Amino acid sequence: MTPFWLDHLMVVVLSVFFPLRAATFGYRRLVLAPIEQVTEVRRSLYYQAIALQWGLSTIALTIWLLRGRRAIALGLEPRDLSSVVWGMVGATVIGITFWIVRRRVRRDHEALDRVLQKLGHIDRMLPHTQREKGIFHLVAFTAGVCEELLYRGYLIWYFTHWLDVAPAVIVSSVIFGIGHSYQGLKGILTTTLVGAVMALIYLTSGSLWPAMAVHAIVDMHAGELAYAALSRPLPPAPEPMPSPVSG
């Protein structure tokens, strides 16, 4: 079944509204917030991201059901159960590997310094407290489910009506990267590559579920590392050298 006007509108929202909102009303608001309001603004943006992504996903699914489309075309029904099982096994292996990495990094101050260097440009978006880390996990879970549904399942389905699969993956991945424009050019390129990898997982397994799991695990891992680096106790200040006694 070919796309109709609501599908076109959804693609405009994902490719234009989403990036503009993230760069202006989202991250820019956080950057410009006075230091005493940063925590409140950060948590507000977490909750807004959760509500917005689930809202858009609900709309996309509603359109899908009203048009009588099959779940398999959106990636929600497995094409091959064994491929999905192996995909989930792979996601589990990635999760265990990340857990081992985090245990080592938490004990390595130089590694934590490198984490801060890599994430310093978006440090205001990252969890600074135990409570914020818990909310960030909800954001990561939401991104894993909703962004894969929207940017992999929905957009790839949409663009394959005019393009072959490979170009459709490229276009959908670029749109996904532009959605993270608040992270700068490097962030756009990185998330575009991540989007392509998630698309490969989706197409290889024939289902969105492994890609959703890997996406959520990757985001949670980033949040855990950021929290470990940002919340570690500061080293004690060196004691002042005694002033020489003049005789």
Tokens coding 56: 């858009």
Please give the average per-residue pLDDT across 170-199, as a whole number: 92
String of DSSP letters for 9-26: HHHHIIIIIHHHHIIIII
Of 238 and 150, which is predicted with more confidence?
150
Its sign, for the CA torsion 37, 230, 130, 45, is positive
Q: Place 237 in a pLDDT band, splitting at 50, 70 and 90.
A: very low
Alpha-carbon distance 218 to 112, whole Å? 17
Cβ atoms of residues 175 and 43 within 8 Å: no
Q: If you compute the radius of gyration of the chain from its CA atoms, what whole number of angstroms results?
A: 21
Tokens coding 226: 């950021």
- The pLDDT of residue 234 is above 60: no
Alpha-carbon distance 160 to 99, whole Å? 37
CB atoms under 10 Å from CB of 174, counted, come to 17
The pLDDT value recorded for residue 208 is 97
Please give the average per-residue pLDDT across 123-134, as a whole number: 92
Q: Place 247 in a pLDDT band, splitting at 50, 70 and 90.
A: very low
Please give the average per-residue pLDDT across 208-231, as a whole number: 95
- Crossing angle of helices 208-231 and 184-205, rounded to 10°: 140
pLDDT above 70 as % of the chain:
94
Cβ atoms of residues 30 and 124 within 8 Å: yes
Cβ atoms of residues 228 and 126 within 8 Å: no
The pLDDT value recorded for residue 242 is 60
CB atoms under 10 Å from CB of 190, counted, come to 14
Instruction: Write the pLDDT tens digit of every residue in 22-31.
Output: 777 778 888 8
String of DSSP letters for 83-134: HHHHHHHHHHHHHHHHHHHHHHHHT-HHHHHHHHHHHGGGGGGS--SHHHHH
The pLDDT value recorded for residue 65 is 95
- The pLDDT of residue 20 is above 90: no
Instruction: Write the pLDDT tens digit of every residue in 54-95.
Output: 999 999 999 999 999 999 999 999 989 999 999 999 999 999
Alpha-carbon distance 44 to 67, whole Å? 35
Sequence-ordered list of residues with C-beta below 8 angstroms from that of 32, at least 6 positions apart, any chain: none
Backbone angles phi, psi at 142, to 5 degrees: -60, -45
DSSP 75: T
Q: Which of 49-63, 195-209, 229-243 has the lowest mean pLDDT?
A: 229-243
In the block, tokens 């989930």 appear at 88
